[in-house]
Structure 1
């Protein structure tokens, strides 16, 4: 195994075409976060992004995109934002993860959404479900599943949609729009949601706003940013920004106007999005790891992603373990315990309300 390190902008057409070919040859890599376009766009905004081009002899057999942080700590590209992480590599190729780290100048690589079938899974890790909406048999088959397994939710959502139309105007869905104004509306809703629930506002970072804007402007056969909005009359009430490959759409930033909360606009939007996505050739909507009530109501399948780290022997890896591993295990314990999870969620929401009040 030989590795050549490059900034994403240094990759030429042969490398990018090979990356796409490897990605499309393996169903497990069919996720836009693993696409070269995503790494290229993040690399335009974050200079710490690198790509390890992996060779077997003269042949390129893999690509390993990562961010290199101080002390040789490696993280996924746009760590904290991505719902699919790892290498894109040829089938049956043998890659020693520890040797790969050394060749990349890394002491540790940590991950929290590593996709299945990765060499990095030789390390200790924890697996987590990532709910999906499986549309491979069509939207009608999906809604038949909902009627059977989530019948009350499905019927109630349709009833609320009819009431919303009576109260506010005809429901209109603008799928895959290139307009920037609704994107900024969605970002405003999402930022307010982060603050309201006590979470960190990701959109307080200008580079994340610019990343989303650049991705929305990207539209190719292999990869695109997808913004879709639901309107009642001429008023936007809910929306989502995500990314797609030819056949997979990832859930990324869903949000809605809380003034319409009683109508369940998020569920109305997700059903509309699933229908239009299926019409456009999308076979799977990956809603991403995380326990959310709406995901439980809408899912008809699951993938698995892993959380953990690969480390070499050395002081930097030891410092990283002390700083990160106990915190990760504590968080996993809280999330796995319904009582602790509800308590933590209430504390965060209380903090969010206090923070909002103080800012006002």
Structure 2
């Protein structure tokens, strides 16, 4: 087994072809986030972008793992926390090589979130699972809408009323679905950043590299990978927008926002329905709405796909230390420590986001301080960790 770490821009044409072939052979790899083009876009935005490439005895690539490096030797998915779907691009038998490959590449572990149904196996510790909502448009939008209306008639009746109200209050409605307009994308980013401030969440669009990633994806236009923007306007004024990624017949919603001045007519929800209709007309058969607890998703969800969060420890001493640490944290999150266990899980997930998105230590420290929130919260988490350590001694 030959292992190498390569910047996405330095992948050879033959390696890109092998990557595409592996994706084409497995429907579970159809996400645009697993395209080599997404890796190249992320490579434009981050200098620490790498792809772990594993080759067989004949020199043929059999596994690709897009990742970003850290000073600690912990690798994260390339583009984290912006990449909603992660994991190796490989035939299922080759995934068992991942722990050994990480060790040979000099890495301690790979911490992931969004791996579709991650396998349990050597070196893999699963911490959390979450459902990702999918709208099945394979039978066309009319059939899809009929199935959703049958389950949620009151919601769709309300949506018809809101759409009429929007036009009555603000003027004629127009929608678009296609390549992103730079001005519309900038407005969407501004709305989203303002939302993070209002809700107290970490501003993942604050670092310049995440905005550069969005812009690089917006400039991509190919069958295998493209950035797509849906917009809603009243009387020519932009009131809601969603930027997503498309690969073949799969569309993955990514960044969505709206102008709060128009919130009385729920423009984000109106756009969601218009987007799915336009996407189906453009040949999309599978629209991923993503993870999260947004209440609106249940109305548009045909089925849910399981996404896993965890750590793959590298073979060797460094990986063993990471596996032990991951096991202790997992014991806290799953333990019977009441609020402290729930707090530990939430805090760990927020910390993962901050450490992945912020590239400067000062910004990481400030973000972590805000995530912890108070000395009382920190003390609760510390007590839970100590309890887990004591429990492990037995």
- Is the 1:191–1:201 Cα contact (8 Å) retained in structure 2? yes
Describe how 1:152-167 pairs up with structure 2 within 5 A. Answer: 152-167=154-169
- Aligned equivalent of 1:73: 74
Within 5 Å, give how 1:87-126 maps onto structure 2. 87-93=88-94, 95-116=96-117, 118=119, 123-125=124-126, 126=128
Alpha-carbon distance in structure 2 between the residues aligned to 1:89 and 1:277 = 29
Q: Find the counterpart in structure 2 of residue 314 from structure 1.
A: 317
In 2, the alpha carbon distance for the partners of 1:272 and 1:323 equals: 46
**Aligned in 2, Cα 1:325/1:129: closer, same or farther, shift over 3 Å?**
same
Structure 1, unaligned runs of 5 or more: 338-350, 352-360
Query: How much has 1:64 moved relative to structure 2?
Result: 1.1
Q: Distance in 2 between matches of 1:160 and 1:25?
A: 43
For the 8 Å contact 1:26–1:91, the answer to whether it is kept is no
Q: Is the 8 A contact 1:97 1:119 kept in 2?
A: no
TM-score norm. by structure 2 comes to: 0.80
Mean Cα displacement is larger for which, 126-135 or 314-323?
Answer: 314-323
Distance verdict in 2 for CA 1:119–1:81, change over 3 Å: same
State the shift of 1:90 in Å: 2.6
In structure 2, how many angstroms separate the alpha carbons of the residues matched to 1:297 and 1:334? 30
SS state of the match for residue 296, structure 2? helix
1:92-147 Cα deviation digits (max 9, x unpaired): 44633321211221111111111235577862313211111111111111111121
Distance in 1 (alpha carbons) for counterparts of 2:344 and 2:158: 29
Corresponding residue of 1:342: none
Whole-angstrom CA distance in 1 between matches of 2:106 and 2:180: 40
1:293-318, Cα deviation, whole Å (9 max, x unpaired)? 11122211111110111224535526
Compute the TM-score of the two structures, normalised by the length of structure 1. 0.87
The reply to whether residue 279 of structure 1 matches residue 284 of structure 2 is no
Which of 174, 177, 195 is the aligned partner of 1:175? 177
Match of 1:189 in 2: 191
Counterpart in the other structure of 1:225: 227
Structure 1's 252 and 335: CA in aligned 2 closer, same or farther, altered over 3 A?
Answer: farther
SS of corresponding position for 2:21: helix
TM-superposed deviation, 1:31: 0.3
